[in-house]
Amino acid sequence: MDLQKEKKRWEDETLKPALKRFPERQPEFHTPSGIPLPPLFVPPDPDPDYAEKLGFPGEYPFTRGVQPSMYRGRFWTMRQYAGYASAEESNRRYRFLLEKGQTGLSVAFDLPTQIGYDADDPMAQGEVGKVGVSICSLEDMQLLFRDIPLDKVSTSMTINAPAAVLLALYIAVAKRQGVEPRQLRGTIQNDILKEYIARGTYIFPPQPSMRLITDVFRYCQEEVPHWNTISISGYHIREAGSTAVQEVAFTLANAIAYVQAAVDSGMDVDSFADQLSFFFNAHNNFLEEVAKFRAARRMWAKIMRQRFGAQNPRSWMLRFHTQTGGSTLTAQQPENNVVRVALQALAAVLGGTQSLHTNSMDEALWLPTEKAVQVALRTQQIIAHESGVADSIDPLAGSYLIEYLTDEIELRASEYIRKIDAMGGALAAIQQGYIQGEIQEAAYQTQRAIEKGEQVVVGVNAFQVEEQIQLDQLKVDPSIEAGQRARLAALRQQRDNQRVHELIVHLESAAKGSDNLLPLFITCVENDVTLGEICHALRRVWGEYQPPVWV
């Protein structure tokens, strides 16, 4: 049988007459990235590149997963992102989540912490504790992890520009608990390039920022070997409006820049590559999202093996955390978000994620309530224990549509990377505004499609209902900021300020040189030098990043 001829006969004699019965349906279908979806897939001719495309789980090119047994061996880490108001409040939420079955912590920091200001800095006024927890000192960090043994839990910290300082604080807390750095497990985001692209919480210019990142690589390679030194993030690129293809392309382009920076600093690629991790978004187009994760894994394996010459198979593995799409949540009919989150979480699991955060249904309205957080966590647990999808290794492999989408995403994302390479790499493409412009155009086209009704968002531009929502949940008490300021004032009075002054002078001198700054950061925080004081010392030496203005 000539399968392609049979397919053509079926299309002409069966499919086309059937489609005439449904004139309201569009004759052509595409994914949000613009990839066309033919109506039917049949087995292609035998593919001589099968091993290069699929292989087996746990083996190059890791299309089917980075672990041979995947979830038959163990489930992904269920890691709910949390942090708000004070360290004490956040600590209570962490212990609540751990009691409900969460298997890893994920820390959200407030905006002043993210951009290196103490709570008593004039720049922090009105923002303390608003979108995360305020951390200024070792005392705050100890309160944040009170009664949580750091050798028993994996902790992820969403922090970028001052990531090295927060890691120093975490190591210092562990030491005071009697936990050696070599026992610590977790991740710091530490991805500054996507801040320049999409998120905006940068402090320093690119060159010193990249130095901080490679300092973390080198220090953790030697002292904190089980720590993920960076979480290269496509999540925020997608939240800014990119397509799935762009999310993969721009994330991997940034990753290439980090690896190249480390290699240029004298590090052997196999000495640090297995401590790199990634962070992706899970959006609504279920099948494209599954294929996206598979394509990213395969692309990264090829990049590390072929482009950078990595020899260790662990260096070829793309290990990633996933968070469901915050930008997909709606304030209208917020209960619908439970369904969106469940579908997105299932896509992440079928795509082979190592770690997952599920958003709460009410996040488009306010900081999540404990009830909503519990439902979000239960969503993961139901997928793990009740759906059956974790019982099989890579259950969607061999789906003609999934394999087609995986190939197309790889093809289109690789073309983006070639363009970025031709510009001189990710940093040059960022400085030229290319990556930002591509994301902005994709976001514009999506919003235009929603406003024209071409893309349905249930409850927003279709299937609306009359409803009234009172925005009165989980407001941050203004006394939180006052309390943080008072705590800092007491700290500054009680500490050895002569020693603090000496360390700041030493830090400014070290920032002008090339020595690894992590050991000095640890010494500083152990002597009660604050986050803001460290970052201000670095600002005085390195300055602040000023984004280009395009007309």
Cβ atoms within 10 A of the Cβ of 327, count? Answer: 14
What pLDDT is recorded for position 509?
A: 98
Provide the pLDDT confidence category of residue 79 given band limits of 50, 70 and 90: confident
pLDDT tens column, 477-526: 788 899 999 999 999 999 999 999 999 999 999 999 999 999 999 999 99
Asked if 353 and 76 count as a contact pair (C-beta separation under 8 A), the reply is: yes
Phi/psi of residue 182, nearest 5 degrees: -65, -15
What is the residue whose two structure tokens read 């290699």? 263
Residue 54 to residue 464: CA distance in whole angstroms: 43
Asked if 514 and 158 count as a contact pair (C-beta separation under 8 A), the reply is: no
Residue 66 to residue 296: CA distance in whole angstroms: 12
Provide the pLDDT confidence category of residue 369 given band limits of 50, 70 and 90: confident
Distances (CA, A) of 544 to 20, 457, 538: 61, 40, 9
Beta-sheet pairing, 77-82 with 104-108: parallel
- Mean pLDDT for 96-113 is 90
Residue 551 has pLDDT above 60, yes or no: no
pTM of the model: 0.93
What pLDDT is recorded for position 45?
A: 66
Q: Indicate the DSSP class of residue 177.
A: T
More confident call, 470 vs 129: 129
Residue 546 to residue 524: CA distance in whole angstroms: 28
Q: Which residues in 290-421 belong to E strands, given as ranges?
A: 320-324, 355-357
What pLDDT is recorded for position 63?
A: 95
Residue 548 to residue 427: CA distance in whole angstroms: 13
Query: Burial of 536 by CB count in 10 Å (0-12 exposed, 13-18 middle, 19+ buried)?
Result: middle
Radius of gyration of the CA atoms of the chain, in A:
24
Asked if 408 and 35 count as a contact pair (C-beta separation under 8 A), the reply is: yes
Residue 109 has pLDDT above 70, yes or no: yes
Q: Which residues in 159-299 belong to E strands, given as ranges?
A: 185-188, 227-228, 230-233, 276-282
- Mean pLDDT for 27-44 is 79
Residue 89 to residue 110: CA distance in whole angstroms: 13
Residue 69 to residue 66: CA distance in whole angstroms: 9
Distances (CA, A) of 503 to 347, 384, 498: 49, 49, 9
**292 CB contacts (<8 Å, ≥6 apart)?**
244, 245, 247, 248, 280, 351, 409
Of the listed ranges 22-31, 265-274, 538-547, the least confidently predicted one is 22-31
What is the residue whose two structure tokens read 């950078």? 308
Provide the pLDDT confidence category of residue 298 given band limits of 50, 70 and 90: very high
**114 CB contacts (<8 Å, ≥6 apart)?**
132, 159, 160, 161, 162, 201
First to last CA, the chain: 60
> Of 40-44, 50-54, 347-351, which one has max mean pLDDT?
347-351
What pLDDT is recorded for position 475?
A: 67
Mean pLDDT over the full length of the chain: 93
Question: In 3D, which of 100, 123, 98, 99 has the Cα closest to residue 110?
Answer: 123
Residue 468 has pLDDT above 90, yes or no: no
Question: What burial letters (b/e) apply to 126-162, b meaning 16+ CB within 10 Å?
Answer: ebbbbbbbbbbbbbbbbbbbeebebeebbbbbbbbbb
Residue 220 to residue 228: CA distance in whole angstroms: 8
- Mean pLDDT for 253-262 is 98
Provide the pLDDT confidence category of residue 46 given band limits of 50, 70 and 90: low
Residue 39 to residue 358: CA distance in whole angstroms: 32
Two structure tokens written together for 83: 């942090």
Residue 179 to residue 523: CA distance in whole angstroms: 17
Residue 23 has pLDDT above 80, yes or no: no
Amino acid residing at 506: H
- Mean pLDDT for 144-158 is 94
Residue 474 has pLDDT above 60, yes or no: no
Of the listed ranges 96-105, 113-122, 183-192, 357-366, the least confidently predicted one is 96-105
Residues in the chain: 551
What is the residue whose two structure tokens read 């400085």? 431
Residue 220 to residue 217: CA distance in whole angstroms: 6
- Mean pLDDT for 121-127 is 95
Residue 532 to residue 203: CA distance in whole angstroms: 12
Two structure tokens written together for 482: 């006052």
**Cα-Cα-Cα-Cα dihedral sign, residues 489, 491, 494, 500:** negative
What are the structural domains, with CATH classification, of the chain?
Answer: 50-62+74-381+394-451 (3.20.20.240)
Bridge partners, residue 320, by sequence: 278
What pLDDT is recorded for position 352?
A: 97
pLDDT tens column, 178-235: 999 999 999 999 999 999 999 999 999 999 999 999 999 999 999 999 999 999 999 9
What pLDDT is recorded for position 162?
A: 98
More confident call, 42 vs 344: 344
What pLDDT is recorded for position 219?
A: 97
What pLDDT is recorded for position 75?
A: 93
Provide the pLDDT confidence category of residue 103 given band limits of 50, 70 and 90: confident
Phi/psi of residue 245, nearest 5 degrees: -60, -45
What is the residue whose two structure tokens read 């997909």? 328
What is the residue whose two structure tokens read 């309201």? 24
Strand ranges across the sheet with 230-233: 227-228, 185-188, 154-158, 104-108, 77-82, 355-357, 320-324, 276-282, 230-233
Q: Indicate the DSSP class of residue 458.
A: B
Residue 449 has pLDDT above 80, yes or no: yes
What pLDDT is recorded for position 133?
A: 95
Helices (DSSP H) in 452-517: which residue ranges? 479-494, 497-512
Residue 542 has pLDDT above 90, yes or no: yes
Provide the pLDDT confidence category of residue 14 given band limits of 50, 70 and 90: confident
Q: SS3 of 334, please?
A: coil
Amino acid residing at 388: G
